[in-house]
């Protein structure tokens, strides 16, 4: 799974935040590493240099082999909180999508019981 982190010009500590974001994504999405080919992370300060509540934004987009990308956004008071929240949202979205795919595959491959009438 390739992880790319992008920040806007108003974000300070880009390298440290990029490492933190990569660590969080690897930890939270580890079990999807066979299905997810790439995760792009976009960090920004919605208000720029102005102060404000919930003005730090993390957008994460996961590329899943053979599927449409999934994108989630989290707004929080800090970029660390936004990264953690977005990773959890992305995990739930991947659980839902890949779980449904797995259910569909399992459901279509279960043979009918020989004791049940057709």
- pTM (2 decimals)? 0.79
pLDDT category at 48 given cuts 50, 70, 90 is low
The total number of structural domains that make up the chain: 1
The per-residue pLDDT for 40 is 97
Q: Is residue 21 part of a domain?
A: yes
The per-residue pLDDT for 50 is 64
Region 77-90: what's the mean pLDDT? 96
Of the candidates 34, 54, 36, the residue with the CA atom closest to the CA atom of residue 44: 54
**Residue ranges making up the domain that contains 48:** 2-100
DSSP string, 69-100: -EEEEEEESSHHHHHHHHHHHHHHHHHHHHHH
Q: Is residue 117 part of a domain?
A: no
DSSP letter, residue 56: E
DSSP letter, residue 13: -
CATH of the domain at 78: 3.30.160.100
Q: Is residue 54 part of a domain?
A: yes
Phi, psi of 38 (to 5 degrees): -155, 145
Region 69-92: what's the mean pLDDT? 96
Q: Is 104 helix (H, G, I), strand (E, B) or coil?
A: helix
Q: Is residue 108 part of a domain?
A: no
């Amino acid at each position: 799974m390739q992880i790319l982190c992008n920040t806007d010009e108003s974000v300070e500590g880009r390298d440290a935040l990029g490492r933190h974001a990569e660590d969080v994504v690897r930890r939270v999405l580890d079990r999807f590493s066979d299905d997810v080919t790439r995760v792009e992370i976009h960090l920004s300060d919605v208000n720029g240099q102005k102060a404000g509540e919930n003005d730090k934004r993390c957008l994460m987009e996961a590329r899943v082999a053979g599927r449409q990308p999934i994108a989630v956004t989290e707004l929080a008071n800090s970029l660390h909180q936004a990264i953690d929240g977005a990773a959890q949202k992305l995990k739930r979205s991947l659980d839902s999508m890949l779980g449904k795919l797995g259910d569909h595959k399992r459901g279509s491959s279960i043979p009918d019981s020989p004791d049940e009438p057709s």
